[in-house]
Amino acid sequence: MPVAPVDLVVRSGRVVTAEGSRVADVAVSGGRIVAVGDVGGATASAGEVIDAAGLLVLPGVVDVHTHTRVASDARPDRFFEDSIAAAIGGTTTFLAFNNPGTGSSPAAERSLRTGLAEWTSVTEADSAIDRGLALAMSGRMPDPVAELAAIVDAGVSTAKAFMVFDFRLDDVRLGAAMRAIGERGGMLQVHCEDPAIVDPAVSAALARGETLPRHHAATRPVSAEAVAVGRAIAMAAAADVPVHLVHLSSAAAVDAVRDARARGVRVHAETCPHYLTLTDERYEDPDPVGCARYIISPPLRRAADREALWVGLADGTLDLVASDHVPDRLDTEKAEAGRGVAFDRISNGTPGIETLLTVTWSEGVRRGLSPERLVERLSTAPARLFGIERKGEIAPGFDADLVLLDPAAAGRIRAHELHHTSDYTPFEGLPTTGAIRRVVLRGRTIVLDGRYVGTRGDGRFVARTRAG
């Protein structure tokens, strides 16, 4: 254990890792953890000592699925504000997509390399926490598959492809993309919904005059997700490369992943807090704008599907939980529902970047998941799978990204108390267990008792050269 001077010692907290928990000190030097245990004489000469007695010390959350929007003339601080919200919620590293709707220019939506250059430029020195990019592939691009090798070499080892929407990849290019990025050491992320099921259902509903937000869910049945998941798994197996299936919502999808794993297919999968807590009862809201807050794809499912997701998290079928944060607002993007705009024209998505840890931890603890398993799903597994080095663990050599959590505190989620750029939360009124007292990014406190105390630009770009 070190006796030389260190920058920071976090004393006497219960350090929680995926492998176990123990009361220990954490010593930090140069932004990295140098010792975990009894650090002895290092405490006396440390530049800063934080008393964590009675608190849990967790690795910072790694959120690998966000649709944060880049700055614009109308909202110049939007990216920065959402990164602050993430920090206050215990996330110290996040990946963002640049798919249509996130503020990318038309040029960026035609080329992966242009998208990377533009996103890096507009987010430089503009994040409260460490951030990386997962590029979105579009069927409108001339040849996105040809660009994948260069993208991985440039530090972006994951890209996302959609099986639905008007910018989806057809199956031929989807399979080619899996192979190209996988053979380079990266991994494709896939949004799994089958257009052969979804598109006719949407057209039929609109023809019947069923335009309200509640009809969104009916046009995207579980079968649409299950069929698409099966196809994506088959493509990955044929190419013998890893694949990551995003935001799974149903028991059928979880079962398909579990079966594929048993056959040796390298398939990874995630779910999101809204699928773990909310059900399709939300679509019964008679207020169109209120109901529109739950227009997400895939939609919310039945309680039985929710329970299957928790089983998947517990047994390891689901590798991680991510927010799928979309900073829509009821007074802008979702407001169109109140003006009679049909559900298929309402922005998809719901905010969650600030509540990822709080919701997953609270609901997970209530359901009997151990703190160690929750840390694995929120920090360790996402960092490992997505090639985010030195993140997600509390061990010597890793970045000193720490969350000090009071496990005894109780609260309730209220939109007016959150800091994200949305004006609502899908978790309004949800009771919570645990309160974040402090967040440390590479050895520096950036959040203290719910207040952001960091400096704009603290966040660094995270380059990744492997995944899966």
pLDDT digits (tens, 9 = 90+) for 271-293: 999 999 999 999 999 999 999 99
pLDDT for the residue numbered 351? 98
pLDDT tens for residues 149-208? 999 999 999 999 999 999 999 999 999 999 999 999 999 999 999 999 999 999 999 999
Exposed/middle/buried for residue 165 (C-beta within 10 Å: 0-12, 13-18, 19+)? middle
User: Angle of helix 112-123 relative to helix 144-153, nearest 10 degrees?
Assistant: 40
Average pLDDT, the chain: 96
Max avg pLDDT among 70-79, 259-268, 456-465: 259-268
Helix ranges, 184-287 (H): 195-207, 215-218, 222-239, 251-262, 273-277
Both tokens of 149, joined, read 């090798």
Residue 61 has pLDDT above 70, yes or no: yes
How confident is residue 2, by pLDDT bands cut at 50, 70 and 90? very low
Domain with residues 8-57+395-452, CATH architecture: Roll (2.30)
Residue 107 has pLDDT above 70, yes or no: yes
CATH number for 60-385 (one of 3.50.50.60, 3.30.300.30, 3.20.20.140, 3.30.1370.10): it is 3.20.20.140
pLDDT for the residue numbered 102? 86
pLDDT for the residue numbered 43? 81
Which residue ranges does the chain devote to CATH 3.20.20.140? Answer: 60-385
Run of H or E residues at 382: helix 381-385
How confident is residue 4, by pLDDT bands cut at 50, 70 and 90? low
pLDDT tens for residues 430-465? 999 999 999 999 999 999 999 999 999 899 999 998
Contacts of 378 (CB under 8 A, 6+ apart): 61, 62, 320, 321, 356, 357, 360, 361
Residues facing 267 on adjacent strands: 243
Confirm if 413 and 427 have CB atoms less than 8 A apart. yes
Residue 92 has pLDDT above 80, yes or no: yes
Confirm if 234 and 260 have CB atoms less than 8 A apart. no
Which residue ranges does the chain devote to CATH 2.30.40.10? Answer: 8-57+395-452
Find the mean pLDDT for residues 206-212.
Answer: 98
pLDDT for the residue numbered 203? 98
pLDDT tens for residues 385-424? 999 999 999 999 999 999 999 999 999 999 999 999 999 9
